[in-house]
Amino acid sequence: MAIARDQDVELTVTTLAHGGLGIARLDGRVVFVSDAIPGETVRARVTEQKKSFWRADTVEVLEASPHRREHIWAEASIERAPEDRAGGADLGHIDLSHQRELKQQVLRESLARFGKVERDVPVEPVTGDTGVNGLGYRTRISLHVAGGGTVGPYAARSNRVIPVQSLPLAVAEVAEAAPLAEKMVGVQRVDVLLAAEGGARLIIDEQAPSPIVERVGEREFQLDDGGFWQVHRSAAQVLTDAVQEAIIPERFDAAAGNLDLYGGVGLLAAAVGDRFGERTRITSVESDERATEHAAENLADWLGARTVNARVDRFLVDLEGAVGTRGAKGATVVLDPPRSGAGREVVERLASLAPAQIVYVACDPVAFSRDVGTFAELGWRLEKLRAFDLFPHTHHLEAVGTLVPIDA
């Protein structure tokens, strides 16, 4: 029987794909299903039909998983039509501990498929999150504005603005400052953020940046209010601790040409310096000019620290061609690429420079696994791995892995 787009079908979901969608099969065809949990049978509406797969949205749960809960965000619930569901909390209908089990499975399967590595580690909760059901952790929220001035998040997998009355993942100060009830005609985007000082603030479209201060322990970091900083209130501390733990001390040489690649405002370079002392040599490389300027200020405590404003791939080409230096030989490299991963070119150039160890901070399990697979082809192994639930009620996770040469 031919099935048309917008037709309802009955599906049994077997597993969770990277991206938070359930996987089901219909007449042998893969169907990616939103708002479903592995083990459930649902009635779903077909929304997209490609040659290799279809997409569908759950409209009714016929046989519910024991892990299903009332959605933490009423505006994202399946009680609403799929096109009217707010995006940004795609696992909000699943028990929090089971969310972490599903993310663990996604990381494990990604590593096996793309990295050819058998590794299974728990996705660790951030202290304090479990007791509040993973709510109220975001210090940064991006909202969008419809043509008539309505403010809200986009619908899932859409650029349609959804009016909402609440922001359950935001810290209280951000939720209170968000202009959800206002009409903002002529505006396209509103970012709401809470820094360590000064209370919550709004950033309207691409207004001129203002400096803010964030803190990790006793250390302060300067950055622009529109610049990148982790959204979870505790993420910067969690990743600082994780990177420090991931570095194998016996393989660390403070005098080597240590690198912090995709370094941002210097958070992880500072983590290395705090672990191994003020004379640690480390170069933080970042393509954003303003972030590099802030990194120079933030790393001023370390005599051996310097910052370079450059694309990582071009920096590595220059480093490879440098004459009369050790380059990165014997160095420790912290690698924190964007969601798309470092990619083959960067991995190949980095491996050719013969560092002693690479600490890879990853926000995408598939991109990370692909890069791990490339490193393996080049004679490296994944020595250590941890994973963290820095984005409760979403499919995102953060992983920190240590790679060393196979013959090490």
366, part of any domain:
yes
Number of domains in the chain: 3
Q: Provide the residue range defining the domain that includes 24.
A: 8-68
CA-CA distances (angstroms) from residue 203 to 69, 124, 159, 185, 357?
Answer: 34, 32, 20, 15, 39
Catalytic residue selected from 123, 363, 372, 403: 363
pLDDT in tens, 245-282: 999 999 999 999 999 999 999 999 999 999 999 889 99
Query: In this structure, are 327 and 383 located in the same domain?
Result: yes
User: Which of 181, 214, 247 delimits the end of a domain?
Assistant: 214
Measured between alpha carbons, how far is 160 from 376 in angstroms, rounded to an integer?
42
What is the pTM for the complete model shown?
0.95
* DSSP run (H or E) holding 107: helix 96-110
Looking only at the bridges linking them, the beta strands covering 258-261 and 332-335 are parallel
Query: In this structure, are 195 and 239 located in the same domain?
Result: no
Q: Which residues contact 148 (CB under 8 A, 6 or more apart)?
A: 183, 185
CATH code, domain with 18: 2.40.50.140
97, part of any domain:
no
394, part of any domain:
yes
Query: In this structure, are 238 and 166 located in the same domain?
Result: no
Query: In this structure, are 120 and 144 located in the same domain?
Result: no
Helices (H), ranges, 281-399: 289-298, 312-321, 343-352, 365-377
Measured between alpha carbons, how far is 320 from 323 in angstroms, rounded to an integer?
9
Measured between alpha carbons, how far is 300 from 293 in angstroms, rounded to an integer?
11
pLDDT in tens, 23-72: 999 988 999 999 999 999 999 999 999 989 999 999 999 999 999 999 99
339, part of any domain:
yes
Query: In this structure, are 198 and 248 located in the same domain?
Result: no
pLDDT in tens, 187-227: 999 999 999 998 999 999 988 899 999 999 999 999 999 99
Q: Which residues contact 200 (CB under 8 A, 6 or more apart)?
A: 173, 174, 176, 177, 192, 193, 194
363 as an active site residue: the answer is: yes
Report phi then psi at 206, rounded to 5: -110, 60
Residue 231 CA, chain-centre distance (Å), reads: 9
Binding-site residues from annotation for S-adenosyl-L-methionine: 230, 262, 286, 336
Binding-site residues from annotation: 230, 262, 286, 336
